[in-house]
Amino acid sequence: MSAAPPSPCGLVCAYQLDGQGGGTALDTSTPKRCGWLTDGTEPIWLHFDIQHQGARIWLREESGLDPVTVEVLLGRNPRPRVSTSGDRALLSLRGLSFEPSAPPEDTLSVQVWTDGRRVLTCRDRPARAIADLRRAIDHGQGPLDTGDFLSRLAERLVGPMDDLIDEEEEETHWLGHAGAQGDTGALVGELARLRRRMIRLGRYLGPQRRTLMQLASAPLGWLNADDRDLLRAAAEQTAEYADSLTSALEIAEIVQDELLQRSSEKTERRVYTLTLISAIFMPLSFITGLLGVNVAGIPDAQEPMAFLVLCIGLTVLVGLQLWMFKRKGWI
């Protein structure tokens, strides 16, 4: 739905809400025909694709919005924030993109401007939250007013993160279990990539919570008590996701430390074994090398039993070394 080609002015969809959960789809050929510049009693929602040249032209030249507001609406990947002036509010929110070619933690931004009656939203990529709102309006189960619209938009942007965070936690536990069973080399790299994904996902949750709390407490006349409660609930839900993601990151850090410790212990055991073998054979190599020099005067060089005596002596020497290593607790 939200991915439909926009109109020549970059307008993806336009609705006039009826205050009962439904709404009327308006002509998208031009925002003027939607009633953007006229006075009315019911809220009007316009949704633009800012990648469309027509949307950028209309916002800058025909929307009647000040240049600072327009540049915020046209911004790419801004951090969540809100600013208010009188009964006007300008905010940026983020949510999961759900694009097939994008990684699971990929997020997109939705910019919103409203004066309580007119609501303007902008996106640079299709957002599932917008498609859900359109579907709800078409079925008569959509937002009742502007405040309800903002709270539902915020809820739909962050709500699906719950499943993704659970998947990240499960993958972390699986990597920890796999590390206890086999080779940890590849698992350490996979866990590091998992931690980077969680960090990218969590970097916007804190600012988004602050944004929603600031909006809920802003002196906006069109925000009623129920709207403010819903915005606070969305903010608290965002805070819970941030806490869950922080816990998942801490678990991932512990698991990664355990994997690195196991890998280090394996390396140390191998080095220790090689060192021990070298220590045993060093005196043997010295003795055999000394007796193997091709000069006159080697003791008992002509004795038939000399080689057997040498082997027995070397065996006794190895036994003495092992006894000494055992006594010192090296083996």
pLDDT at residue 237, rounded to an integer: 86
Please state whether the predicted TM-score (pTM) of the whole model is above 0.85.
no
Contact between residue 238 and residue 163 where contact means Cβ atoms under 8 Å apart: no
DSSP codes, 45-83: EEEEETTSHHHHHHHHHTS---HHHHHHHT-SSPPPEEE
pLDDT at residue 301, rounded to an integer: 67
pLDDT at residue 27, rounded to an integer: 77
* CATH fold for the domain made of 11-261: Beta Polymerase; domain 2 (3.30.460)
Question: Which residue carries 């355990």 as its tokens?
Answer: 258
CATH architecture of 268-328: Up-down Bundle (1.20)
pLDDT at residue 1, rounded to an integer: 43
pLDDT at residue 149, rounded to an integer: 92
| All structural domains of the chain with their residue ranges | 11-261, 268-328
Between CA 105 and CA 98 the distance in angstroms is 9
pLDDT at residue 168, rounded to an integer: 75
Q: pLDDT of 214-269, one tens digit each?
A: 999 999 888 889 889 988 988 888 888 888 888 877 877 777 777 777 777 777 88
User: CA 234, 239, 244, 245: dihedral to nearest 10 degrees?
Assistant: 100
Low-confidence ranges of the chain (pLDDT < 50): 1-2
pLDDT at residue 139, rounded to an integer: 92
pLDDT at residue 43, rounded to an integer: 87
Gap between the terminal Cα atoms of the chain? 71
